[in-house]
């Protein structure tokens, strides 16, 4: 039987700390949240591997290194309100909830959303909730947000989503351009957005974030 507690410590020591992740809040959260609880029984032994773990429905739990480095780029503070988009079974929501004041999560899949809320309830995560909706639309009713975190790759982000950022707020996602993926941070300053490249990585493309295809004849 897998010793998941030891696997969790090894994940942090071999994947997270060596990847320029220095914020203690990230390390503490990833040590505390049982990642294996957020994948199906058949996949539990993969929970702490250096891979994206399939969740079904074409979705995946991003690799530990990817999530940790995205959280480092997001610079989440204890008083922040975070919008967590496409969290799948809710691992990112549980981790972020230990770092922020509150988390609003939006998941389109009924089955994944049901698992996510059940896991949050089991772990007594009281400052986060998972609601139905299209991640590409965000959740303007509960914003604006200090951080918007996307659990996958995007080709584009609509202004309707970045408009949900507070002044100084950050949107963190893996932006894909052809076969290449880069984690980028969009930061709102008044009516403008700055764009910072954080690191190179790829991730599964999220529904609703593909570019419109142009057909040429």
CA distance 90 to 61: 9
Angle, CA 175 vertex, CA 159 and CA 74 arms, to 5°: 80
Torsion from C-alpha of 158, 90, 80, 172, nearest 10 degrees: -40
**How far from the centroid of its chain's Cα atoms is residue 94's Cα?**
10
Tokens of 109: 């899949």
Give the pLDDT of residue 216. 52
Distance set, CA 143 to CA 105, 111, 173, 192 (Å): 12, 25, 18, 18
Band (211; pLDDT cuts 50, 70, 90): confident
Beta bridge pairs of residue 174: 153, 183
pTM above 0.85, yes or no: yes
Stretch 140-145: mean pLDDT, rounded? Answer: 96
CA distance 57 to 55: 7
Q: Is the pLDDT of residue 63 over 60?
A: yes
CA distance 203 to 152: 5
Share of the chain above pLDDT 70, in %: 97
- pLDDT tens for residues 148-160? 999 999 999 999 9
């Amino acid at each position: 039987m897998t010793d998941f507690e030891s696997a969790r410590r090894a994940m942090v020591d071999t994947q997270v700390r060596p990847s320029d992740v220095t914020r203690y809040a990230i390390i503490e959260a990833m040590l505390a949240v049982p990642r294996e609880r957020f994948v199906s029984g058949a996949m539990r032994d993969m929970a702490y591997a250096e891979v994206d773990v399939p969740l079904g429905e074409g979705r995946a739990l991003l690799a530990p290194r990817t999530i940790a480095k995205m959280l480092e780029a997001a610079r989440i503070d204890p008083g922040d309100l975070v919008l967590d988009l496409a969290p799948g079974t809710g691992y990112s929501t549980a981790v972020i909830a230990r770092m922020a004041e509150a988390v609003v999560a939006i998941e389109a899949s009924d089955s994944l959303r049901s698992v996510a809320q059940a896991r949050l309830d089991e772990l007594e995560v009281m400052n986060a909730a998972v609601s139905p909706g299209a991640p590409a639309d965000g959740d303007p009713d509960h914003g604006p947000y200090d951080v918007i975190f996307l659990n996958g790759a995007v080709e584009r982000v609509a202004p309707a989503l970045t408009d949900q950022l507070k002044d100084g707020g950050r949107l963190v996602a893996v932006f894909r351009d052809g076969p290449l993926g880069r984690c980028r941070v969009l930061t709102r300053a008044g009516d403008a957005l700055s764009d910072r490249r954080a690191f190179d990585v790829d991730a599964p493309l999220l529904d609703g974030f593909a570019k419109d295809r142009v057909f040429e004849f």
